Chain A
């Protein structure tokens, strides 16, 4: 049981390049989330998904797109990377909507946009 995994761990992009971050979970969780963490800040929600084929915007969605074609995977895309998107990206999953459900976090992806 690997929990929540993220690929890649590190990436450097040039302004205008595109890339996709992959989040995978093997816990059969319904809900998945993408957050970003900037220096000196807590995590902020980018997008989330409440099930296969569904996505919704979070607090800071601009410049990102997401897809959830399979229940176990949640993809975060940057179509045209900007230096402001330099950040550490965390993925999380949650079993369901019960008030007792905690979120489980992946190890993070450190992205630098030059």
Chain B
């Protein structure tokens, strides 16, 4: 299966700061998604982004499929952005296979 590496593993920022989270894949993937897991454990879909760039408010994501990486940008951070951010994808030759997740980036936004 594919390997998914996320960096940095931990990030502590002050409210209002910007951040970039990175996700690298070992092989070609489909169905690339970014998730936010809030402090209560709920997984929230942020982006479905197999290629290109998408924006949703203060969050945006870019995937460069040919180079096997994706970036998540968070601008003007708020304390509610705290939690763990996961990227995940399905190996492009895997058919109905489930998502392979990275270990996540643990983000703490301090007031």
Chain A residues in contact with chain B, CB under 8 A?
31, 33, 35, 40-45, 48, 50, 56, 58-59, 88, 90, 92, 94, 97, 99-105, 107-108, 110
Which residue in chain A gives the minimum CB-CB distance to B4? A42
Across-interface contacts of B1 in A (CB, < 8 A): 59
Mind listing 25 A-B residue pairs with CB under 8 Å?
A31-B96, A35-B98, A41-B103, A41-B104, A42-B86, A42-B103, A43-B101, A45-B97, A45-B98, A48-B96, A50-B96, A59-B1, A88-B41, A94-B96, A97-B96, A99-B31, A100-B48, A100-B50, A101-B31, A102-B48, A103-B33, A103-B99, A107-B41, A108-B43, A110-B41
**Chain B, 40-73, contact with A by CB distance < 8 Å: what is the 0/1 string?**
0111010010100000000000000000000000
Q: Is the CB of A108 within 8 A of B42?
A: yes
| Cβ distance B35 to chain A, nearest Cβ, rounded Å | 8
B30 within 8 A of A: yes
Q: Is the CB of B96 within 8 A of A103?
A: no
Which residue in chain A gives the minimum CB-CB distance to B45? A102
Across-interface contacts of B41 in A (CB, < 8 A): 88, 107-108, 110
Determine the interface band of chain B, counting residues with CB < 8 A from chain A. Answer: 20 to 34
Contact flag A105-B30 (CB < 8 Å), given A35-B98, A41-B103, A48-B96: no
Which residue in chain A gives the minimum CB-CB distance to B95? A97
Which residue in chain A gives the minimum CB-CB distance to B103? A42
Instruction: Give the 7 A-B residue pairs with the shortest CB-CB distance, closest first.
Output: A42-B101, A45-B98, A102-B48, A105-B43, A50-B96, A33-B98, A43-B101
Q: Is the CB of A102 within 8 A of B31?
A: yes
